Amino acid sequence: MAENKSASVAKPDSKTGDTILKIEKLNVAYGDVQVLWDVDLEVQRGEILALVGSNGAGKTTLLSTISGLLNPKSGEINFNGKNIAGKQAQEIVGNGVAHVPEGRRLFGALSVRENLQIGAYKRKDKAQIAADLEYVLSLFPRIKERLNSLAGKLSGGEQQMVAIGRGLMARPSLLMIDELSLGLAPVIIENLLEIIQTVNREGTTILIVEQDVQTALEYANRGYVLETGHVILTGTSANLLEDDRVKKAYLGL
Ligand code: ATP
């Protein structure tokens, strides 16, 4: 199993401090309504980065633009040195970016196994796909027991495990997770975030989007605060948790 794990993810490279994703002056609009304004954001290879902010701040819009589901109005999105802004979602997945969407978006009438296989649909390396499935099941023993169940019959926590597993089946070097905590009990959220930390330690860079600012910053190395489409603050998680503006606006302190 150890072999699967090391083979299924890129090697951690956090010590070099190199940038895996660099976003510059990104502007995104829905028709005439602009939602992101000159957003600059960098993700370092090997880190867990939290993007936090309240409802409607533009977090989902940013992830969807990175993963190619939305086209930016202007700006650059460099991933591993390649400008991916406005590219097709399929191409971006192929480049190593996986997106676990808000609300999981599983196919409820398909089995857990089929949902996981969908994550690897762009890949041709059958033996490695099988090894990666084993890796995902080793991370989530609960879903190993439910492989042949319909995804729609699972609990919310189990569905989130399948959604994360589906993302990992794309063999991403960057895994983006939108609102992991949505509708889940605190103990389940903690369990999932510990698994995310394991995935990160084994080499996958993580970008998490959360409304639960405290939880996100407790697990992340660094964070960005987005407010009405603008980045208003960035720093290490420790610094953000101590910042008066964060305390007042998001932590109820
Ligand atoms: P949430 O956590 O509620 O999803 P968010 O920070 O992810 O919040 P977005 O979902 O990106 O925010 O929404 C940002 C803004 O864009 C909101 O004002 C929202 O109403 C608007 N918006 C989102 N999707 C669309 C859409 N498809 N068409 C028009 N406006 C949209």
Residues 126-142 have pLDDT tens digits of: 888 999 999 999 999 99
pTM exceeds 0.85 for this model: yes
> pLDDT digit string (tens) for 215-239?
999 999 999 999 999 999 999 999 9
Are 44 and 204 spatial neighbours (Cβ–Cβ below 8 Å)? no
Q: Ligand 1 pocket: which residues have CB below 6 Å?
A: 30, 33, 35, 53, 55-61, 102, 211
Average pLDDT over residues 109-134: 89
Ligand 1 atom 30, closest CA: 30
Cα 137 from Cα 200, distance rounded (Å): 16
Average pLDDT in the chain? 90
Integer angstrom CA distances of residue 191 from 86, 149, 179: 35, 22, 15
Give residue 27 CA to ligand 1 midpoint distance, Å: 14
> pLDDT digit string (tens) for 33-44?
999 999 999 999
Q: Is the C-alpha dihedral spanning 7, 8, 14, 20 positive or negative?
A: positive
Pairing of strands 48-52, 33-44: unpaired
Which atom of ligand 1 has the smallest separation from the CA of 64? 11
- In this prediction, residue 88 has a pLDDT band, given cuts at 50, 70 and 90, of very high
- In this prediction, residue 122 has a pLDDT band, given cuts at 50, 70 and 90, of confident
Ligand 1 atom 28, closest CA: 30
Ligand 1 atom 23, closest CA: 61
Which atom of ligand 1 has the smallest separation from the CA of 102? 4
Give residue 40 CA to ligand 1 midpoint distance, Å: 19
Quick one: pLDDT at residue 6?
A: 37
Quick one: pLDDT at residue 13?
A: 41
Instruction: Please name the residue that has the structure tokens 């977090």.
Output: 59
Which atom of ligand 1 has the smallest separation from the CA of 62? 11
CB-based burial, 129-141: b 16+ in 10 Å, e otherwise: bebbbebbbebbe
Partner residues linked to 236 by β-bridges:
222
